[in-house]
Copies of this chain bind each other. A is one copy, B any other.
Amino acid sequence: MTSDNMAPARRNRASAKQASMADVARQAGVSMITVSRMLRQPDLVTAETRRRIEEAMAEVGYVPNLVAGGLAATRTQVVAAIVPYIQHGVFADAVQGLSDALSPSKYCVLLGNTAESSEGEEAIVRTLLGHRPAGLVIQGANHSPATRQLLRKAQIPVVEMGTLPDEPIDCCVGYSNRQAAIAMTERLIAGGRRRIGFVGADPSQNDRHAQRLDGYRVALEAAGLDFDPRLVVRARFGIAQGREALAHLIAVEPKLDGLFCASDLWAAGAVYECTRRGIAVPDAIAIAGFNDQELAAEMVPSLTTIRVRRHEIGFVAGNLILARIEGSESGHKRIDVGFELIARESA
């Protein structure tokens, strides 16, 4: 029962080498090109021929070599996806959406993690481009000149996700991080908050967070409130970092009465820290998040946050790529999927 690997050449080449298209053709008594055709445009082949080929494929255990196919056709069945960390739910959602859009067309996702560094990004873009993907999606839009150059020269559809740059490399699908941040900050202000903190990622490495910070600042100043750099915390992602941020901020500013976190993880951490310290949320401090991640709706108190349809962003990006590959050049080069302010208990 375990004769798969070591079987001494049952039938044709049971173990020796992988079966090739030539083997299938021979077995079916047709030419290679007919096998190739039946795989890609079955309608052009007689039902009878098709049957014979299918039988032959099963017989020899044929798995088409997409590498050879990709080389011959000078186009692969692969789409590259570049995100800072696949481990972060926010990016994984988009990649899932991408994968879901691509799967019906048999395209696969080739993954690249940049670790949120621009050198890392350029290196990974280079490598992924070497695999000659049919298209590429990438998180954000603040790429180094070298990276932009590479992407342009690649002559494939490129989709920047999660933001709406003024000058996309090719296409983009996202929403206005700035407007979303403005909306949330305005809400906090409208709720009577005056000393509002901000937690975000390094704005020089993360353009989405840079825009959220910008929106926060704009909204404050529009309301005649001070933008106080001491109330701006730069953090690594994580719930624990949210706790720390809150601890830091109330030390710096005991009158803190509002907090806008550019990610739900930080907001959750801040809320938990308040809970532990007996600080009432939102009565003493209103805390808002960003992303509407799963725990936002479920935790106690639930999180007021910005909902972004991340799976949809990836899905739309995938369909954009497919449309471009198929040549239906479709006008839309800049798709705004919008955002939604979800008002819950925490703010």
Interface residues, chain A, CB within 8 Å of chain B? 4-5, 15, 18, 61, 63-68, 70-71, 76-78, 81, 85-89, 92-93, 95-96, 99-100, 103, 106, 108-113, 126-132, 149-150, 152-155, 238-240, 243, 265, 268-269, 272, 275-276, 294-295, 297-300, 311
Contacts and interface: CB of A to CB of B under 8 A. Distances in A.
Given A18-B155, A108-B127, 11 more contacts: A63-B150, A65-B130, A81-B111, A89-B92, A99-B111, A99-B113, A109-B110, A239-B298, A240-B297, A268-B298, A276-B300
Contacts of A311: 87
A66 B269 contact: no
A153 B4 contact: yes
Contacts of A93: 87
A130 B64 contact: yes
Given A86-B95, A239-B298, A67 B269 contact: no
Number of identical protomers: 2
Contacts of A150: 61, 63
Nearest to A126: B63
A103 B114 CA distance: 10
A88 B295 CA distance: 13
Contact of A78 (B95, B103, B131, B132): B131
A39 to B, nearest CB: 10
